[in-house]
A and B are shown apart, each in its own frame.
Chain A
């Protein structure tokens, strides 16, 4: 029977501040779940409740079918990786990794074997007798990972483990973590404020704001189908338009969009969001065939930013500024420049619609 981690109506209140408000979640054994949200959204509080450093105000944390609210951290058998690495500065790499095993009174020879295994896993064999202060940030975090994995925990909890590192190492270490998770088949709960990281690494992403879950789902789902403006805004970049909905048509200040999926909403003020890469750039006055002609908007290129494979342009229009991402090759061929007039096409099915809150 798989050992699942479940949060049931979990709430944490600090004084008058509600840090976490009635959240529910099932984490399957071997799943990689990522909590994503801005700082102060309560994601770290949830992690600390799972680890046992905070006690829930109400609700339950269950593991393997048992409520573990009052279980001391030592008995939870969860490994933790901290943002600040939290390596023991007075111990060598080897001693750091062996620490949890010593605490569990493993025999000496087995400790040696296990530490070797872990050192191979994190690729720091030659550093075993160094002190943390002698290692780079990335190496330190690998030691922290190894230390947390050494006692073979049933769940590994990672609290913004990469945010203290610089971009390149972050990406590389991200891959290491993902690979380890897949190889070991271990359940991981990962907290981050970096949406790119969350989308890249997780099986399932939990987007949080002000103590509540805004959306839970696979990364692709979250990205493609954000269920609220907050999620759309927080995960990736989106253009937003405010308008009045009537019968699948959304009227903006100066134009109107055909948005068939808006029909599920009542006739009221709505918000439309659309990802920049979903917008097509046409030459002015030459609408392609098969296009919904009403979904075309005219504007002027204000800013051009090269992002490598993608060129991001900022277009000013009667309905405000619109961000559009173009494939670099395409941009090059069209010989577009700052100040050029363009038509933008908004495919109807690319819109995500929410009622105005």
Chain B
């Protein structure tokens, strides 16, 4: 039996020595990257807003920028405007998404899969396509306003922002509410009904209160997304100034970086607050979800069924309309006069053109891999390794969601535009910025995946002589493959479509497709902006399809076994 002497072979001493420090090393590295690429730029913004010339001395301290902000009614109005559109968007989106989620989880309407797919379409497109489509349909020369109803009304301004933001935020709110409603036990409803409550009473007294955390969380998220968005307000806002566009205007028009920083700080306050509400509420609501109840839904009455079918169809139609309009707008000769088809808008009248799409594509690949990789590591450390100070690492990892992309981008200019930061002006700064800006969701999904890996699996590996690195490479990574590629797609998608985080960072050497869309629209090449959007959507769809193809086969044993 003892043919293979144990003395002869052993785990290499060097790898064990490395193993001793690797966890600390990696933890410090990840924390350092987050501090350096997230907190440092924000710190620079804070300093610039409170200290003259951004020089940190006591005599330089001044509230002058804030006095100027609040003392100038026009600028101060941007705060009110931002709140106004964000609150309205929050209310509208949450309600719309709640009933949509209700229809998908609590009724027996048909075509749920279709509605579900459609509802998530906005995630694959640059956020401004909502605004682009609305202008084509409801602009001063819009197909519907000027040509169908011949009214002299246009969508520019607060309403334009609200409608495009509702369409943009809808899938985000839906995810949360869908999860909430599927987790709440419907037997509560049935119990109430059996006690003689009317359907309406059940809805208000039981269903809505049981989903209150979900509603709060969806509301907070929508508020945060809207108040930090730059693309939609800049395209459809017209003269309606919000905080994000005000930052851009202060910096680019008046060269007042200090005021831009000040407005950034003012924008940070509500966005961080919304983030904290969301964070707090999410933790609470997880405690409520039992996970046990996966109930059977009684067939809905025809009235209910038809009502909800019509409702979901209307919402889906609005979303499809956005996409159809943009795609169509890119192919017709002159919207809305000459409907003959043409490819001329795809000859981009811009300096970036197709090379911008190509650049976007490969930068997004890098962002996809690095983002998925680092969030997996962060999630692994936070969930499994729990080293000293793990709470700090966790907080750092989820914090980016609280920081508006535009603010982060501005912070990057202020912080890294130095000759010794060699990455400034290269594609790398964009890669880093997008990875950091989307770190939160990546980490959270890594964590929830890694939670599913039986802790004894790692202990088994360790006892068999595996070091942390080989455990990670041979087990944690293969077992998180699905999450890794989901995150890859997420980061890829975000990088292809994000605007606010990178608008300050594109340069003569690096043109990005999403920014080209803004510029094309700015220059009045709306049809080409539509064409560029269509290209971006096509690439994202292609990537989604490709990944599904790769992931589709042979992953069942991984999925089945991971639960232990």
Contact = CB atoms under 8 A, between A and B. Distances in A.
Nearest to B466: A103
Contacts of A153: 6
Interface in A15-31: none
B283 interface: no
B362 to A, nearest CB: 30
Interface stretch (B10-18, B61-69, B324-332, B351-359): B10-18
Interface string B1-24: 111111011111000100110000
A154 B20 CA distance: 24
A104 interface: yes
B9 A101 contact: yes
A90 B466 contact: no
Contacts of A52: 463
A114 B1 CA distance: 9
Which of A53, A79, A88 is packed against the most chain B CB atoms within 10 Å? A88
A132 interface: yes
A313 B22 CA distance: 63
A346 interface: no
Given A86-B456, A132-B561, A75 B461 contact: no
Given A86-B564, A104-B11, A154-B6, A131 B467 contact: no
Given A90-B475, A104-B9, A99 B456 contact: no
A266 interface: no
A166 to B, nearest CB: 18
Contacts of A101: 4, 9
Interface extent on A, as a size class? 35 or more
Interface in A43-97: 51-53, 72-80, 82-90
B291 interface: no
A312 to B, nearest CB: 37
A85 B455 CA distance: 11
B25 interface: no
Contact of B560 (A73, A103, A133): A133
Given A90-B475, A152-B4, A99 B557 contact: no
Contact of B479 (A89, A105, A151): A89
Nearest to A132: B561
A100 interface: yes
A167 interface: no
Nearest to B556: A133
Contact of B564 (A74, A84, A148): A84
B564 A104 contact: no
A86 B459 contact: yes
B6 A151 contact: yes
B561 A89 contact: yes
B376 to A, nearest CB: 15
Contacts of A85: 564
A133 B465 contact: no
A100 B4 CA distance: 13
B445 interface: no
Contact of B16 (A74, A83, A154): A74
A99 B561 contact: no
Nearest to B11: A74
Interface string B420-456: 0000000000000000000000000000000000101
Contacts of A106: 4, 8-9
A100 B465 contact: yes
Given A86-B457, A104-B465, A72 B479 contact: no
B557 A89 contact: yes
Given A74-B11, A131-B561, A147 B456 contact: no
Interface in B384-416: none
A340 interface: no
A90 B472 CA distance: 13
A231 B38 CA distance: 60
Give me the 9 closest cross-chain CB pairs, A-B, nearest first. A89-B561, A100-B464, A103-B465, A86-B456, A86-B460, A104-B9, A133-B560, A82-B456, A131-B557
Given A74-B16, A75-B16, A104-B11, A89 B558 contact: yes
Interface in B462-510: 462-467, 470, 474-475, 478-479
B175 interface: no
Interface string A105-124: 11000100110010000000
A184 interface: yes
A337 interface: no
B562 interface: yes
A319 interface: no
B4 A88 contact: no
Nearest to A114: B4
B9 A53 contact: no
A294 interface: no
Contacts of A105: 9-12
Contacts of A110: 4
A184 B2 CA distance: 9
A89 B562 contact: yes
Contacts of B467: 74
Nearest to B5: A152
A134 interface: yes
A194 B229 CA distance: 61
Given A86-B456, A113-B3, A134 B557 contact: yes
Contacts of B558: 89-90
15 contacts: A51-B459, A53-B459, A73-B459, A79-B463, A86-B564, A90-B479, A90-B557, A90-B558, A100-B465, A103-B11, A106-B9, A117-B3, A144-B460, A151-B465, A152-B6
A134 B463 CA distance: 24
A132 B464 CA distance: 18
Interface string B272-305: 0000000000000000000000000000000000
Contacts of B3: 113-114, 117
B1 to A, nearest CB: 6
Given A74-B465, A78-B463, A88 B9 contact: no
Contacts of A114: 3-4
B380 to A, nearest CB: 16
A25 to B, nearest CB: 21
Nearest to B10: A104
B459 A82 contact: yes
Contact of A88 (B12, B459, B461): B461
B467 to A, nearest CB: 7
Contacts of B454: 84, 86
A151 B7 CA distance: 10
A75 B564 contact: no
Contacts of A113: 3-4
Given A99-B464, A106-B4, A154-B6, 14 more contacts: A51-B459, A52-B463, A73-B463, A74-B19, A74-B462, A74-B466, A84-B564, A88-B474, A89-B562, A103-B464, A105-B9, A105-B12, A152-B5, A152-B6
B557 A151 contact: no
A280 to B, nearest CB: 48
Contacts of B470: 103
A234 B541 CA distance: 63
A162 to B, nearest CB: 15
A106 B12 CA distance: 11
Interface in B518-564: 556-558, 560-562, 564
Contacts of A147: 460, 464
A77 to B, nearest CB: 7
A73 B465 CA distance: 7
Nearest to A111: B4
B7 to A, nearest CB: 10
A158 to B, nearest CB: 12
A197 to B, nearest CB: 20
Contacts of A53: 459, 462
Contacts of B463: 51-52, 73-74, 76, 78-80, 148
Interface string B325-347: 00000000000000000000000
A179 B465 CA distance: 26
